Structure 1
Amino acid sequence: MGRAKFTASSSKATAGQKLLFDQLQQIAQGLGETFAPFCEVVLHDLTDPKQAIVAIHNNLSGRKVGQGATELGLARIADPDYAQVISNYANSFADGRQAKSTSIGIKGADGSYVAALCLNVDLTLFQGLQSAIGQFVSVDANNSPREQLIPVGADAIRAHIDQFAARRATTPRALNTEDRRALLHELRDAGCMQVRRSSDIIAAHLGVSRATVYADAR
């Protein structure tokens, strides 16, 4: 982290500008501490472009306090109508690491730019995490056995029956023999018939006898 007190071209600085930069210093420090160590926060004094960098927190770019303004800073100095906020634009550090940057221009009372607060996020770690997560969550759909990791119990059996009946626009107790047989096959394939007292649960929900359930399950 680099830091320097604001001089704003020494005698040319007004009390208001000094107060403004003091507050910007606090903001830059707070952002730097919050997003450490992934985000570099740089405060620029655009009233002194040759020594524009006032503070650097989480120095990822290798720059130093006292270095000159960037092209973006010079563009703001030349044009007060230049965009005040430019967010999430692609950038890169000197060693080639990819970065995502946001630059916020700060204007003085006369409408000209006096400062800029810039955030540069190192994307290297996040890109690595994205790749690792993508690999971790991938599944082989062509090599998957038929299995559900949902516990099967009485409530699950009743819910399965209700869903089956709803697909046929009817109620469980109104299912005909053919539909009941199809239902019992589904329940067996889903492992519901392995539940203790499953025949009693199914018979009660369908409003038939256990003997009917056994016959339809054949």
Structure 2
Amino acid sequence: MAKIKLTSEQQVILDQVKHIAAGLGETLAPFTEVVVHDLRTPKHAILAIHNNLSGRRVGDPATELGLARLADDDYPQVLANYANRLADGRQAKSTSIGIKDSDGHYFAALCLNVDVTLFRSITTLLEQFSVPKDGVVNETLDPSNAKSLRERIDKFAISLATTPQALRTDQRRALMQALKDEGFLELRRSMETVAQHLGVSRATVYNDAR
């Protein structure tokens, strides 16, 4: 198929898309393949490919999504985070963004393919590392029961849709009253624990508790 000449508008848009793809490729290397497709020539659609994970090359054909967009201008412009698979069997997560001209016609696409295999391996490793063995021995390195105090502070902050460190003065005072009413301030080193968890000084905590 002979290459269809780009309109001046399409050329400007496509040039910008290619720059965006290059930047994304640099930023997301080496785990994300970034591909620019010229959908006007579907048999030779790939214009640029960064961090090649799929084994494709410039000049290779468009995917099924590209062909679907060519057939229907109402096809979804953004398809994000759908499951995919690379040529060697590795699992991937893909996002495809259709590029339209001012007449609303698809003529290009920007696609990202993330190799999730390594990330899943890291997740599995972290899970194995962080899960303690049950039934060996009971021990706490937190004799002051600071964990329950911190959890209560977190619960209070979550109820206000914020974080402990972002509590306003009036919210901190309400928190201190709640902790006092529930007996948390009777725990050993409670004021120090509260100050550390809120990211403020102990003097501030004592002042808020008045």
Q: Give the 5 Å matches for 1:1-218.
A: 9=3, 12-149=5-142
| Distance in 2 between residues matched to 1:149 and 1:61, nearest whole Å | 50
Percent identical across equivalent pairs?
A: 56
| Distance in 1 between residues matched to 2:97 and 2:120, nearest whole Å | 25
For normalisation by structure 2, the TM-score amounts to 0.67
Closer/same/farther in 2, CA of residues 167 and 96 from structure 1, 3 Å limit: same
Closer/same/farther in 2, CA of residues 78 and 149 from structure 1, 3 Å limit: same
| Distance in 1 between residues matched to 2:143 and 2:73, nearest whole Å | 62
| Distance in 2 between residues matched to 1:110 and 1:35, nearest whole Å | 32
Q: Which amino acid aligns with 2:3?
A: S
Larger Rg: 1
Runs of 4+ in 1 over 4 A off after TM superposition: 149-152, 165-168
> Which string of whole-angstrom CA distances, capped at 9 and with x for unpartnered residues, describes residues 123-178 of structure 1?
111011011000011012322322224689xxxxxxxxxxxx9668xx97xxxxxx
Corresponding residue for residue 203 of structure 1: none
| Distance in 2 between residues matched to 1:144 and 1:74, nearest whole Å | 61
Any unmatched runs of 5+ in structure 2?
146-179, 189-210
Closer/same/farther in 2, CA of residues 14 and 138 from structure 1, 3 Å limit: same
* SS of the residue 1:142 aligns to: coil
RMSD: 2.9
